[in-house]
Amino acid sequence: MKIVAAMSGGVDSAVAAARIAEQGHEVIGVHLALSSNPQKYRSGARGCCTIEDSHDARRAADMIGIPFYIWDMAEEFHDSVVENFIEEYANGRTPNPCLRCNEKIKFAAVLERAKGLGFDAVATGHYAQMRETELGRMMYRAVDPGKDQSYVLAVLNEEQLSGALFPLGDTVKDDVRIEAKKRGLYVANKPDSHDICFIPSGNNAGWLRDRLGADNGPIVDEDGNQVGEHQGAYTYTIGQRRGLNLSVPTEGGIPRYVLKIEPKSNTVVVGAREALAISHIEGEKAIWCGPIPQSGVAHRGFAQVRAHGTPLPCEYRTDGKSIIAELDEPLFGLATGQGLVIYDGDRVVGSATVSATK
């Protein structure tokens, strides 16, 4: 096969590229430049789009012995990931930019360009497994539960997945580092990336405030009484407890949590933890990683709402375009905009964007 290995400059994508090159495929390494001014998103060794990271990726490609190119995806990244991130927060939702990046950039724009160059597939260092089953090629969780990234890949449809390779899904992270050392890849000890790559400071609230303005407004309780003031409703997230600085304490000192964000009235509603409990999740813009589950009937499965969240047993229904999941046990704190991913055991069924809860 002819394969494009997406190389971030980190250890995972380097080992993934080395593995497929070793299997005898025709491989080129590609680093994505996600900012027109790499210094702007500078984030030392934590992110994936600094000049240093592109050098690390180039050196890894040299050591593996594959051609290496940098593809400029800055415009696409800004338009479909960064702008979407800002817009979602402005609407009182909590987006996951890694989901958008996989959906719109890594397995869309990159895959398209790769196919245009005559390549068959894009390989990444994500931890997930593709398996041939009687129903076709399906995505499963990685064997390393701590590193499993199937959640952020659940936004890929069947066609995108048919051009995706995840060579690390069968390996635990520690072994990947050991393998990197054995292969002489000097990125072996590079720390894992965390945070949002385009917010290197890790201060998401401050970053959003710079872009959306510090628009002060009331924090109210469930009865509408003002109990504090906020500096931009969009800097809060459902279920948040810390950093509220409420001026009016509750009787008995019961802690309060963010229950609701109302962007139109610029109001944050707080209340007791019990009020966060939800067991009904509605998701829109469903994407199916395999066959679409039969509509009109209830299916048993697991719902996951965060990248490294717990899989929650549930019953779900779909009409193909949306998903409604009824959890067996209530969940505390779920914001709209988050990704709802449905699993059948370890198999990824599909995903949707949370639009309503109760």
Partner 1 sequence: MAIYLDHAATTPMLPAAIDAYSRQMAEIGNASSLHAQGRAVRKAVEESRELIARAAGCDATEIIFTGSGTEANNLAIKGFFWSNSKKNTIIVSTIEHHAVLDPIEWLAEHDGAKIIYAPVDSRGVINLEALAKIVNENRDEIALIAVMHSNNEVGSLQPISDVVEIAGDIPVHTDAVQSFGKIVFDFAALGVTSATVSAHKLGGPLGVAALILKRGLDITPLLHGGGQERDIRSSTVNAPGIVSFATAVDQSLMNLRDNYFKVNELATQLRNAIKAGIPTAVFNGSSEESLPGIVNVTFPGTKSETLLVRLDLAGISASQGSACSAGVQRPSHVLLAMGISEDDADATIRFSLGSSSTEEDINTVAKVIADVVEKAKL
Contact status, residue 273 vs residue 255, Cβ threshold 8 Å: yes
Which one of the spans 30-38, 180-188, 209-217, 310-318 is the region binding partner 1 (CB under 8 A)? 30-38
What is the C-alpha to C-alpha distance for residues 71 and 112, in angstroms, rounded to an integer? 12
Contact status, residue 304 vs residue 311, Cβ threshold 8 Å: yes
- CB nearer to partner 1: pick between 33 and 139: 33
Active site residue 197: yes
Active site residue 49: no
Q: In sequence order, which residues have a C-beta less than 8 Å from that of residue 315 and are 6 or more positions away?
A: 298, 299, 300, 301, 325, 326, 328
Which of positions 100-159 make contact with partner 1 (CB under 8 A)?
Answer: 113, 116-118
Torsional sign, CA 252, 255, 260, 265 = positive
Which of positions 34-73 make contact with partner 1 (CB under 8 A)?
Answer: 36, 38, 51, 54, 58, 67, 69-72
CB of 2 to partner 1, least distance (A): 10
CB of 98 to partner 1, least distance (A): 22
Give me the half-sphere count of Cα atoms (radius 13 Å) on the Cβ side of residue 271. 15
Q: Residue 201: is it exposed, middle or buried by C-beta count within 10 angstroms (0-12/13-18/19+)?
A: exposed
CB of 75 to partner 1, least distance (A): 11
Which of positions 174-213 make contact with partner 1 (CB under 8 A)?
Answer: none
- CB nearer to partner 1: pick between 28 and 261: 28
- CB nearer to partner 1: pick between 26 and 175: 26
How many angstroms from the chain centroid is the CA of residue 54? 22
CB of 33 to partner 1, least distance (A): 4
3-class secondary structure, 289: coil
Active-site residue among 48, 98, 101, 289? 101
Q: How many residues bind partner 1 (CB under 8 A)?
A: 18
What is the C-alpha to C-alpha distance for residues 57 and 107, in angstroms, rounded to an integer? 19
- CB nearer to partner 1: pick between 34 and 270: 34
CB of 61 to partner 1, least distance (A): 12
Q: Site for partner 1 (CB under 8 A): which residue of 3, 17, 28, 219?
A: 28
What is the C-alpha to C-alpha distance for residues 35 and 255, in angstroms, rounded to an integer? 41
Binding region for partner 1 (CB under 8 A): 28, 31, 33, 36, 38, 51, 54, 58, 67, 69-72, 74, 113, 116-118
What residues are annotated to the active site? 101, 197
